[in-house]
C-alpha cells in the first residue's frame, strides 16, 4: 500500500524552442518563484514517465508530439524546509532527473491552476536569472552547453 508521502525522486523538464526560448511558470503556492516543469514520480513510474505526465498536467502539452529528450543527467539537492512535510520523516534530499522538450516555436500553455498562476516564454539566459532553484539554473546551463553556448 502506498503512503501519502512524496517520493524523493523527481523530474525537471526544460520546455524550449529551437532558438532557446524557455517556458517558465510561477508557482501558485509561492509567489515570485518561477520554474520549469517539475514533479515527483508516483507509484512505480520511471523518471521519464513522470516527466511526460508532469508536462501534460502542468502545461497541457503531449510530450510525445514534440522532441522529448532524456538528458541522462540528475542532480541531488536538499529539499527546502518549507516543503519537507510532503516527504516521509527524515527525508531531506531529492534526486531530480533532467529532460528536455524541444518545440519549433512557443505555443499557448494550459496551466494547472493549483500549481502555477502564470507562464512566460523567455530567452534561456533570462530564465536562468528568474528561476529560483539551482538545479533549474543547472539545467538551463546544460541547455546552453548542448548548443555550444555559456551562461
* Domain CATH for 91: 3.90.79.10
pLDDT digits (tens, 9 = 90+) for 31-52: 999 999 999 999 999 999 999 9
Q: Is residue 111 part of a domain?
A: yes
User: What's the pTM?
Assistant: 0.94
Please tell me the predicted confidence (pLDDT) of residue 1: 40
Average pLDDT over residues 4-26: 97
pLDDT, position 2: 54
* In the predicted structure, residue 17 carries a pLDDT above the cut 80: yes
Residue 72 has pLDDT above 50, yes or no: yes
- Distance, CA of 66 to CA of 50 (rounded, Å): 16
Domain annotation covers residue 4: no
Is 24 inside any structural domain? yes
Rounded to an integer, the average pLDDT of 7-29 is 97
Domain residue limits at 79: 9-146
Mean pLDDT for 60-78 is: 98
Domain count for the chain: 1
2 lies in some domain: no
Q: Is residue 151 part of a domain?
A: no
Amino acid at each position: 500500500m502506498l503512503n501519502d508521502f512524496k517520493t524523493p525522486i523527481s523530474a525537471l523538464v526544460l520546455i524550449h524552442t529551437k532558438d532557446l526560448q524557455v517556458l517558465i511558470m510561477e508557482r501558485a503556492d509561492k509567489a515570485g518563484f518561477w520554474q520549469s516543469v517539475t514533479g515527483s514520480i508516483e507509484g512505480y513510474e520511471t523518471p521519464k514517465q513522470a516527466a511526460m505526465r508532469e508536462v501534460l498536467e502542468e502545461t497541457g502539452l503531449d510530450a510525445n508530439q514534440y522532441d522529448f529528450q532524456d538528458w541522462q543527467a540528475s542532480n541531488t539537492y536538499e529539499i527546502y524546509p518549507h516543503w519537507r512535510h510532503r516527504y516521509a520523516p527524515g527525508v531531506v534530499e531529492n534526486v531530480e532527473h533532467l529532460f528536455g522538450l524541444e518545440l519549433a516555436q512557443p505555443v499557448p500553455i494550459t496551466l494547472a491552476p493549483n500549481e502555477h498562476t502564470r507562464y512566460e516564454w523567455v530567452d534561456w539566459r533570462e530564465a536562468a536569472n528568474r528561476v529560483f532553484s539551482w538545479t533549474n539554473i543547472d539545467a538551463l546551463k546544460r541547455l546552453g552547453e548542448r548548443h555550444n553556448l555559456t551562461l
